[in-house]
Chain A
Amino acid sequence: MPAPSAKLKTHPAEIATLLRGETGTISMWSESWNARRFLLHVTVIIFGAGLYGAAMGWWRDPQQALYVAIKFPLIILLTTIGNSLINAMFAPLLGLDILFRQSFSAIVMSFTIAAAILGAFSPLLAFMIWNAPPISPQTISGSTYNLIKLINVVVIAFAGMTGNVRLFQLLVRLGGSRAVALRVLFAWLAGNLFLGSQLSWILRPFIGSPDLPVEFFRASALQGNFYENVFQSLQQIFNN
């Protein structure tokens, strides 16, 4: 049996363990609080999501790249913190008897996986942006803009899905039941998507518009919410 101190040691190579989804080791990590490991995961989120954000914003302007590099990890961290209490309460109520620390670290680990994937794809996105014509009203209406948007959606969806598949495997390991793990994952996903969408709405723009100035927040950041906007758009579609 390994010495307890060995369990507490952290190494950047542990991210590979997360990506591989070695649930035995990962569930052991979640049993005890390790500040260094937590810091490692947060660092991966900041750098991984940050680099991807920078590549995304670079098309509009280097300053936009800096802003999105800050905003992308901020959304992930604020979503995790904002929903930490309700997620921790949902787990035992839905049949998974884990502690607040475990639910929090499980979600942080799933976001770490997603951020590591995003970070790995950031050079590819940057290369694509470098090859794209400069952003302008013409490119916005052309196929390049749609292609970049589509690639962003695909990469972010892939990163998110992989993170959640690994999270599901960990929940099965912790709870011993696929049905319970699925219930908890669904509740967590719903909450995180709900808050994450609104935070993304507040922190817009990401790619940026060529007609509007480069800024961290839009002047209308706190006017209306994401769902209100979707609802109004739907109303307009059905009224026309």
Chain B
Amino acid sequence: MNEQNPVPPQIPPVIPSILSSGVRQLGDDPLERVAIPNIIAVIEALLRHPRRMMFQLRQPGAGKLIAAMLFISIVCSLIYGVVVGTFSGGQQLWIAPVKIAAGLMISALICLPSLYIFTCLSGSHARLSEIFGLLAGMLMLTTMLLIGFAPVAWIFSQSTESLAWMGALHLIFWFIATIFGLRFLEAGFSQSNARSHAGFHTWVVIFLLVAVQMTTALRPILGTADTFFPTEKKFFLAHWGDCLNLHDSETKLKSRE
């Protein structure tokens, strides 16, 4: 009997290291370690390989990557703002982009400290710069998706005169885009050894409230006004209520005509 075994000894498969929570560690995949050299690669990485982006945010020199993400976010929100401005035209063609870009950036900046605090309270070891990077990634993904919605928004803005309808449509588009942005942020949050997501979910509510209130604080974005900033302070629910009442009275007037 031939004692030589023709079957080669079995080599145990390489199992990527798994965290105690069951989350695969960043950098296990060699693709995630590839540097992100330019803006096109940043867009590509965020859409196709978000883990590569998360890994790169932990590396020294991540500042450039964060700056690139913020730059793309600002450009995308300015472009979407022009589309929003086409509803009223005139001065709104520059006012709407400025207000949308500024509003998004200010909302993110206002919410950054609380995000960091909630992250720490959840047991995460993420540094402030990493959290800032993830937030910039969230903004970038949100605004890029808004650009995707822009042709649809433009068609609707050319075919309706209703402020309430266009406002609702833009809010829906922003909400869908933000869900994807928040998914990226949560995926990054999951990689930071956080024990619980309760703090993160609380922060999401805070961020959404701040962002919608920002649209009221910077109004009008869709419509027109004599002044750049509103002269009256309002809570967003009161503002939406006023818009809907105005819409109802316009509809009644039209049906009488």
Contacts and interface: CB of A to CB of B under 8 A. Distances in A.
Interface in A187-210: 191, 194-195, 198-199, 201-202
Contact of B160 (A83, A88, A89, A228): A228
A97 B159 CA distance: 35
A98 to B, nearest CB: 9
B148 A195 contact: no
Given A85-B148, A86-B145, A89-B47, A199 B162 contact: no
A222 B148 contact: no
A181 B150 CA distance: 25
A227 interface: yes
Interface of A is mostly: helix
Contacts of B47: 89, 92-93
Interface string B108-149: 000000000000000000000000000000000100110111
Contact of A85 (B147, B158, B180): B147
Contacts of B160: 223-225, 228
Most buried by A among B155, B158, B180: B155
Contact of B159 (A81, A88, A225, A232): A225
B144 A225 contact: no
A81 B165 CA distance: 24
B145 A89 contact: yes
Interface string A211-240: 000000000011111011000100000000
Given A82-B152, A92-B47, A221-B159, 20 more contacts: A82-B151, A85-B150, A86-B145, A86-B148, A86-B149, A88-B148, A89-B47, A93-B47, A93-B141, A93-B180, A93-B183, A97-B48, A191-B152, A195-B152, A202-B155, A222-B158, A222-B159, A224-B159, A225-B159, A232-B251
A198 B154 CA distance: 12
Interface of A: 81-83, 85-90, 92-93, 97, 191, 194-195, 198-199, 201-202, 221-225, 227-228, 232
Interface of B: 47-48, 141, 144-145, 147-152, 155-156, 158-162, 165, 180, 183, 251
Contacts of B251: 232
Most buried by B among A86, A87, A97, A228: A86
A202 B149 CA distance: 18
Nearest to B183: A93
A112 B115 CA distance: 48
A175 to B, nearest CB: 13
A89 B145 CA distance: 7
Contacts of A82: 151-152, 155
A65 B48 CA distance: 45
Given A82-B155, A85-B148, A86-B149, A224 B48 contact: no
A86 B155 CA distance: 15
Nearest to A82: B151
B144 A89 contact: yes
- 8 closest residue pairs by CB, A with B: A86-B148, A82-B151, A85-B148, A222-B159, A225-B160, A92-B48, A92-B47, A89-B148
Nearest to A194: B152
Nearest to A191: B152
Contacts of A83: 151-152
A92 B180 CA distance: 11
A204 to B, nearest CB: 11
Nearest to B157: A225
A96 to B, nearest CB: 10
